[in-house]
Structure 1
Amino acid sequence: MIMIDPLDQSERDNYKLLIGSIVPRPIAFVTTLSSTGILNAAPFSYFNIVTADPPMVSISVNRKMGQSKDTARNAMATGEFVVHISDESFIAQINQTAASLPPDESEVVLAGLTPTKSNKVSVPGIAEANIRMECLLEHVIPLGGTEESPATDLLIGRVICFHIAESLYHNGYIDPEGLKPVSRLAGHSYAKLGEIFTIERPE
């Protein structure tokens, strides 16, 4: 085994170890609204479930040069965002939204995606997604970096409405093979669902 002390190497080197080890990572495709009504969209692979009671999800939005990115800034301003599950049907368009655009330009327009009205939040969702979750911002936790300049904004969102394609929903469960989720690996690499197997948990 190779032993590496993260204090002995750069942030970039630690980043490479993390994203190469913690795989596959689900990708949250997040829409937010700017103060001027621009629909922002971006993918994030630092994404997971927090709790089911009430349903909450977490998204870590790394800052750029110490400044919050559009997604975090908009979510903090409006208290709302929409999380979409990334799948094979529109992953190429999701990838396009990772482009660095100024705040007054919409990644949704750039990628040719279709906004769709939400039921309980003001932020539109994306019609191409087979699963989306309308969220209220429950907490924002600045983390990493220094006290004066955190490295990331951890957003905790409470899901207040699920939208699920009928073809995927069966007796309260989601069909993973029908969903065809796409996950993130390191570098420019992604992964599809792959083989599914079952191991029963012990009592």
Structure 2
Amino acid sequence: MTRTYWAAGAAVVLAVLFAVGATVATASGGSDSGEASRAPGLYSPDAGFARDMAVHHQQAVEMSFIVRDRTQDEPVRGLAYDIANTQANQRGMLLGWLDMWGLPKVLADEPPMSWMQAAEGGGEHAGHAGHGAAKPGALMPGMATKEDLDRLAAANGRDAEVLYLQLMTDHHKGGVAMAQGCAVQCRTPAERSLAQGMVEAQQSELTLMADMLGKRGAAPRG
């Protein structure tokens, strides 16, 4: 377990270093309009998405590590590894962008998802990225509560597999809505591209998880 957490931490560090270098190159010459060369504002969709999705991803990584210790089922363990690895690296990129822009990773006066609410308030894309409400005890839409995480940590075998797949399905649905919001509203080309990639990858994983739940005689939660 310690080795697994160390490996994930190393992946985040390496991703931050890579993201900073790649984003500098993109910002310095990736857009003739100069849009990419301007650092986003403190409350911009670009910064808000980076902060919120970094938190959202961290919980997905945590849940994936939990289930890898609660089951020996290789398909579920393989999915958990892929999700943890992918989202740890993406989280590193998001945090790297915030560092490069000189922006804080946490804002005490910014409620979660406020950048999406502002985006949905008007304009031609208003309502495109509707994301619903977070359930009581959850920080953002799709995120698990502490009670959910405790239940997952206490489960074993098929019960752990089903609960993980259900929780991660909810998590991906919330993440897809957030990423769709950034794909429309963010101004940084590299971040928009990352967000669109998240949408496509997580939608594919949603289909896979629904199939995996069906094979276990279960279904996504309503």
Higher helix share: 2
- Both proteins in one fold, TM over 0.5: no
Scaled by the length of structure 2, the TM-score of the pair is 0.26
Higher strand share: 1
